[in-house]
Every structure is written in structure tokens, then in C-alpha cells.
Amino acid sequence: MRTLAYLTLALAMLPASLSAQERFATRNGHINFFSGTPVENIEADNNKVTSVFDASTGAIEFAALIKAFEFEKALMQEHFNENYMESNTHPKANFKGKVSGFTAADAMKAGSYDVDVSGDLTIHGVTKPLTTKATFVVNADGTIKANSDFSVRPEDHGIAIPGVVRKNIAEQIKVKVDLTYARM
């Protein structure tokens, strides 16, 4: 009778353990942005990006604290946080969407996969749709490395650029996302 009870319990827990194997997360993802103009190049890195990816549904989310972006010059970082991003009011950038072209079965075998990502990107309190390409690389150790490049217009997210410095900031900011997921 005990054996039957243990077997029933084990079978009942099997779906939960299987679905947990299809979820991946990171707390140290990387986002880089670059604004290049003839007047000035501006670049910043954030190595504290959190993200969760569910290979069974394709759902993906990430969040980046705005104050975690680091610049070469402290004055740039100060202006970025206080004047442009207003990081005390809008402390995070978020993305919530879906990955297509990658399945739970793909997450179980090493290889490189070109995927489509679409969803909603929220920056400075303004949410806009985003569709982009990405590459998912499944490593032999079961981790997944996800990379994507896309551009963002500051004006699309309500970020005002004063006329005095308009020539210093690109109209399209290049964004690179690098995430290395481990199974949850």
C-alpha cells in the first residue's frame, strides 16, 4: 500500500518537475546601448539584467534597473539618470513578449537557433511594441545564450532631448542584449 502511495505522489509531481526544466532565468544579463554621432559617442552597460524564459510557451520577460547603467564619464551617467531617463520616477525598463522558432525540445539539444521575438518594451513609463530577431544558443551544459540587437528612438518613449544637445545624441539608439540562462 505504501508503494502505491509513493508511486502516486511521484507521478503527481512529475508534471511540475518537467515544467520546471523548461523554465530558464538569469540575474546577470547584459544590455549595452550606443549612441553615435559626429559630435559625440555615448555608451553604457548594465550587467544586472534579470530575465525569465519559458521554453514550453515561448514567454520571455526581462527587467533592467536604469540606475545600473554605467558610463565611462560620471557626468554622462548623472545627466542620463536625472535629465533624460528620470530614473527616480521611472526606475526600470521592461520587456514582456514571446519567442517563436524555439521549442522546449530545442532547449534539450545543443545548437544555434535563429528566432523571432515580439512583445512590449517599456522605457521611461511608455510602452511600445517591439519585434526583432535573436539568436539562441543551447550549450552542452544546458544553458541558453540569447543575443539580440535592435534600435530604439528616445522620442518614442517620451524622452525629451533638448535642442542644445540634439546633435550629441543619435536619433536611433543601438541596443544589444546578451542573456545567459540557466535552468530554474
Domain hosting 30: range is: 2-183
pLDDT in tens, 120-129: 999 999 999 9
- CATH code of 17's domain: 2.40.128.110
Question: Domain total for the chain?
Answer: 1
Q: What is the pTM of this model?
A: 0.86
Q: Output 53 or 2, whichever has higher pLDDT.
A: 53
Query: Residues 82-98: pLDDT tens digits?
Result: 999 999 999 999 999 99
For residue 55, what are the contacts with CB-CB under 8 A and spacing of at least 6?
A: 22, 23, 24, 102, 103, 104, 106, 107
Query: Alpha helix (H) ranges present in the chain?
Result: 2-20, 74-79
